[in-house]
């Protein structure tokens, strides 16, 4: 057997002899992390896999960036070719509308849009689990602000 005949020092986690001597109980894997990863992968598979969720994420990004680009009250932080499908960052063209917009967001039940502390503005995180309807709800409030302003 070659177990225990390693010619150099290796981390104990990589040494099979240690695992055998401990009856495979040398290290407990992060069970909860493994379990949640499994659930997430099963969920993605049910949705149609990576290609399907990618299409949904691209649609969410198109919906919000379209509003940011067309609505004169908003201004995106990123140039178009560098935009993220996961996090749309934007600000108001007129800071005087911040209180009104924030109130409208709150009334619509939308929260968690605070931008980065060094930049400010807003950041709409649209990760895989965020439904398209939630992005549309945000865009509706953005559009409504334009009619009120």
Q: Tell me how far apart the alpha carbons of residues 138 and 123 are, in angstroms, rounded to a whole number.
A: 11
In the chain, residues under CATH classification 3.90.1150.10 are: 54-148
Per-residue pLDDT reduced to its tens digit, 28-51: 788 999 999 999 999 999 999 999
pTM assigned to the model: 0.79
Do 75 and 91 form a contact (C-beta atoms < 8 A)? yes
Do 146 and 72 form a contact (C-beta atoms < 8 A)? yes
Q: What are 65's two structure tokens?
A: 């960036």
| Domain range 54-148, its CATH number among 3.40.50.300, 3.90.1150.10, 3.40.640.10, 3.40.1360.10 | 3.90.1150.10
Kindly indicate the confidence band of residue 71, based on its pLDDT and cuts at 50, 70 and 90: very high
Q: Widest CA span of the chain, in angstroms? A: 78
């Amino acid at each position: 057997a070659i177990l225990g005949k390693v010619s150099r020092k290796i981390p104990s986690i990589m040494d099979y002899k240690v695992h055998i001597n401990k009856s495979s109980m040398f290290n407990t894997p992060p069970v909860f992390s493994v379990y949640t990863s499994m659930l997430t992968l099963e969920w993605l598979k049910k949705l149609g896999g990576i290609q399907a969720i990618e299409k949904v994420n691209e649609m969410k990004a198109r919906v919000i960036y379209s509003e940011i680009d067309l609505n004169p009250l908003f201004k995106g932080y990123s140039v178009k070719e560098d935009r993220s499908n996961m996090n749309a960052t934007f600000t108001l063209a007129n800071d005087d509308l911040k209180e009104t917009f924030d109130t409208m967001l709150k009334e619509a039940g939308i929260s968690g849009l605070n931008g980065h502390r060094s930049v400010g503005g807003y950041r709409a995180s649209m990760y895989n689990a965020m439904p398209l309807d939630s992005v549309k709800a945000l865009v509706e409030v953005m559009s409504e602000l334009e009619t009120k302003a």
